[in-house]
């Protein structure tokens, strides 16, 4: 049985949500919270498999409750709301940054338009997210105590005529992790950064805008044929594979999905390995699944470096864990150490 906690301040809406969930024989509603503080306490006491969390609640809202749960009792959380438009990019990113796995709309009441469809999506989302292995959320730790990384003993990234390049693959928890890294890099970071971030369609442009507003780097959606520039982050757009040409230009294509992913981290890693060889730094950050792992073989064979985010700082440890299991990673690092490593590995002679 999938154990669900429902956090909703309206008694009528809470009763309706509980009735929808109890209609599924695979779900057991183990608790009901009428505010965020109760949600935090009941999650700790009842240990549900997943929490359906409203946003606007008295005492403590859903964002703050999510943050506290992810610190004290890491649990899959689905943010739901009808008061706040969950389709707004800023709302979705705030929820993901807090530690929620996804956001969704509350099902309407009995007799409302699309009620059956919305109820079905609500139930299936909770079922899927209940299976995700989550860990404590890094954003609320006052002090990160990373393992001592021997940066002084690192060899520099070998740089050819094209310079170096950073390629990143991430999924669940990625926007917040990227924000952390990019906010710690200088605007004149001397290499381009290419990112595959799995998100629902329609959110990528807003995600790029949000990241751009919060860092010294230029962050944008990639465009076909543009010349790669240092200090710039290029993010793959909706339903497009992103790679690079031999002439250091961006290439976007509708090539087939890889293991169901388009954009795919594997496509990106294989492409940069072909074009940049040993001058590649590949990062696998927090996320669900194993996208990108198959492409790491190309990076390793070309002589590039591979870094995976560690378990303690990942919201979901799926992608980094699979990268580590593949035996190809050079470093497994806390999120707080990744930006310093990126700056350390760029040769001094490339820094302008």
Q: Please, is 155 exposed, middle or buried when counting C-beta atoms within 10 Å of its C-beta (0-12, 13-18, 19+)? A: exposed
List 9, 61, 291, 310, catalytic entry = 291
Please state whether beta strands 77-81 and 2-7 pair in parallel, antiparallel, or not at all (unpaired): unpaired
271 labelled catalytic: no
Instruction: Please list the residues that pair with 197 across neighbouring strands.
Output: 170
- Token code pair at residue 6: 């429902």
CB < 8 Å & 24+ apart, contacts of 154-159: 154/341, 154/344, 154/345, 156/345, 156/346, 156/347, 156/348, 157/278, 157/279, 157/281, 157/305, 157/345, 157/346, 157/347, 158/278, 158/279, 158/303, 159/279, 159/346, 159/347, 159/349, 159/350
140 labelled catalytic: no
Cα end-to-end span (Å), the chain: 58
Q: Outline where DSSP puts E strands in the chain.
A: 2-7, 27-33, 50-54, 77-81, 102-105, 165-170, 193-197, 218-221, 232-235, 241-244, 250-253, 280-284, 305-309, 331-333
**Angle in degrees, CA 326, 330, 331, rounded to 5:** 105
Rounded CA-CA distance 291/259 in Å is: 8
137 labelled catalytic: no
List 119, 130, 171, 298, catalytic entry = 171
Residues 190/351, Cβ–Cβ less than 8 Å: yes
Distance between alpha carbon 308 and the CA centroid of its chain, in Å?
13
Rounded CA-CA distance 78/92 in Å is: 11
Distance between alpha carbon 183 and the CA centroid of its chain, in Å?
16
Rounded CA-CA distance 79/86 in Å is: 8
Structural element, H or E, at residue 322: helix 318-325
List 61, 81, 137, 198, catalytic entry = 198
- Residues with a catalytic annotation lie at 171, 198, 291
């Amino acid at each position: 049985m999938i154990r669900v906690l429902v956090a909703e301040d309206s008694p009528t809406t809470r009763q309706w949500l509980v009735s929808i969930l109890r209609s599924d024989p695979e779900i057991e509603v183990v608790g009901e919270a009428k505010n965020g503080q109760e949600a935090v306490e009941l999650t700790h006491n009842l240990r549900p498999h997943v929490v359906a969390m409203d946003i606007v609640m008295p005492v403590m809202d859903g964002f703050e409750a999510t943050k506290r749960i992810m610190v004290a009792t890491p649990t899959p959380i689905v943010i739901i709301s009808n008061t706040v438009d969950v389709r707004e990019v800023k709302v979705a990113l705030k929820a993901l940054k807090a530690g929620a796995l996804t956001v969704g709309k509350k099902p309407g009441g009995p007799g409302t338009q699309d009620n059956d469809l919305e109820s079905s999506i609500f139930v299936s989302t909770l079922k899927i997210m209940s299976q995700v292995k989550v860990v404590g959320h890094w954003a609320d730790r006052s002090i990160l105590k990373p393992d001592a990384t021997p940066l002084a003993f690192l060899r520099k990234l070998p740089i050819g005529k094209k310079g170096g390049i950073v390629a990143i693959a991430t999924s669940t928890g990625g926007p917040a992790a990227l924000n952390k890294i990019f906010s710690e890099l200088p605007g004149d970071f001397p290499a381009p950064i290419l990112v595959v971030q799995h998100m629902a369609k329609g959110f990528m442009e807003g995600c790029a805008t949000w990241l751009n507003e919060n860092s010294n780097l230029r962050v944008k959606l990639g465009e076909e044929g543009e010349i790669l520039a240092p200090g710039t982050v290029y993010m793959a757009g909706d339903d497009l594979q992103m790679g690079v040409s031999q002439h250091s230009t961006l290439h976007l294509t509708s090539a087939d999905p890889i293991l169901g992913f388009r954009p795919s981290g594997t496509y990106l890693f294989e492409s940069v390995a072909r074009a940049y060889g040993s001058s590649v730094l590949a990062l696998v950050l927090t996320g669900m699944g194993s996208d990108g792992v198959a492409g790491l073989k190309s990076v390793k064979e070309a002589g590039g470096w591979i870094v995976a985010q560690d378990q303690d700082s990942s919201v979901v440890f799926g992608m980094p864990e699979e990268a580590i299991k593949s035996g190809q990673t050079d470093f497994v690092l806390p999120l707080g150490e990744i930006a310093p490593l990126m700056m350390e590995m760029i040769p001094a002679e490339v820094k302008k």
